[in-house]
Structure formats: structure tokens, C-alpha cells
Amino acid sequence: MQISGSRALVVGGGSGLGEATARELAARGASVTIVDIDPGRATGVAEDLGAACAVCDVTDDDALAAAVELAAGDGELRISVCCAGIGWAEKIAGSRGPHAAEPFRRTIAVNLVGTFNTLRLAAAAMVGNEPLEDGERGVCVNTASIAAFDGQIGQVAYSASKGGIVGLTLPAARDLASAGVRVNTIAPGLFDTPLLAALPEPAREELGAGVPWPRRLGRPAEYAALVCHIVENRMLNGETIRLDGALRMPPR
């Protein structure tokens, strides 16, 4: 898939991995639409890039459908990237009782169902596209986490949500193969995103030092570069790629 001249949707594009991806796609000539739940972030990045934007919760089916329609515009949506997600830390049971049910449901709703919503709506828009070289019509990139494989203490909700994204990747790619729409997932390790930016610098350095190589936090631009490679490499399909510097998370 050629990035230049393609219409691209970046969900969660107002900050972190999504913002870096939106900026890189725009720099490579894509027409980008940014979707984010935060109005200030969405409009700020969009104005900076001269891009379109929509404000919505990924669990809102109608709002997300409208955002996909906006991204397609009067042309064809070819690239979809979903980076929207939340975290939650709580043990499944302990001295305070069982894990709260609602935070688990909300984490699954945003991370897993939100990714599914983005994928199903973007893919539906893509299957009607005119085929390009090799019959390709579009490419969708999801965001999981190494927590899908190496979930730590207190990460049952987060790990379950990200594991679900890994699990749907191959069957989704198989579902869409006949239409020429590829589906892949990136599972990042420890990245320098707004979530970690709140930590003191010594804590951030300690986290980065635990990565085998390079011994630092990942950079959002490195995630964005992998998205672009996935878009451009037609043989990548149905795959979950760990982007973690060989990190395997310990129990805590």
C-alpha cells in the first residue's frame, strides 16, 4: 500500500503512539483524519497537520461510524490505525475483596471492543474500494501490548483486553483476505507516552534500563515507523509484532 495520496484514519491520534503515527503518515503524504476522545488534543494535532478530526468514544458505534465516514470523505479509506486504549491496575482478589467488576468491563469495552469497532467499520469501508496492485484494498493496524503475553500482577483487566486484540488478529485477516484488506497488530513494550511521562525521571530511567536493548523506553516515532512498514509491506498479514527491545515483563 502506498502511503502518499492514501486516506488514513488514526484512532487515538491526539497523543502518544497515535499522535506520532498521525504525524508520520501525514509527513509521508497521507490525508489523515484524527479521532480522539479528548477534544483539545484531537483539534490541536489536526490543526498542526492540516488534518480532519472527530471527537468520539470508541465504544460509541454511531459516532465512530461517522468518524470513519469522515475519513473516507469523497474518496476511499485505505489505512486504519487504532491506538485508543486505557489502563487499570487491580489484583483479581485480595484483602480488599474481589476485583471490581465495572473497571474490568470498561477496560474490555474501550481496549477490545473499541478496537473491534474501529476494525469492523474501517474494513467495511475498505471492501468497497477499487483494488490496487495485487488486489489490495486496505490495511488495518491494531495496538495490543506485551501485557497480552507477559501480564504483570494487577494487570488482569488490561492483559485480557490486549490478549483479545491479539486473538482477533488472525481470524480478522482471514475474514478479509478475499477482499484484499490486511490486518496486523503491534504489541508495544515500554514506550515514552503520556502515561509514563507522569513518572519521576529516575523511575522512567529505571524502567528503560530493564529493556535488554536498546536500554531505554521506546519512542513513539519507532511505533509510527513500524506502522508505515506494515502499510507498505503487502506480505505482512494476520501478524502480531512485538515491539519491545526483547523485553519480557517480570511478575511485578
* Active site (catalytic) residues: 158
CA–CA separation, 191 vs 24, rounded Å?
17
CA–CA separation, 231 vs 25, rounded Å?
10
Closest CA to 24 of 192, 231, 188: 231
Task: Name the one residue in this structure whose C-alpha cell is 491494531.
Answer: 142
Longest Cα separation, the chain: 59
Query: Which helix (H) or strand (E) is 114 found in, with range?
Result: helix 114-126
Phi, psi (rounded to 5 degrees) for 32? -100, 140
Q: 47 to each of 1, 33, 41, 52, 158, how far by Cα in Å?
A: 26, 11, 10, 8, 32
Query: Which helix (H) or strand (E) is 184 found in, with range?
Result: strand 181-188
- 3-state SS assignment for residue 107: helix
Closest CA to 129 of 28, 1, 31, 237: 1
In this structure, what DSSP letter does residue 233 have? -
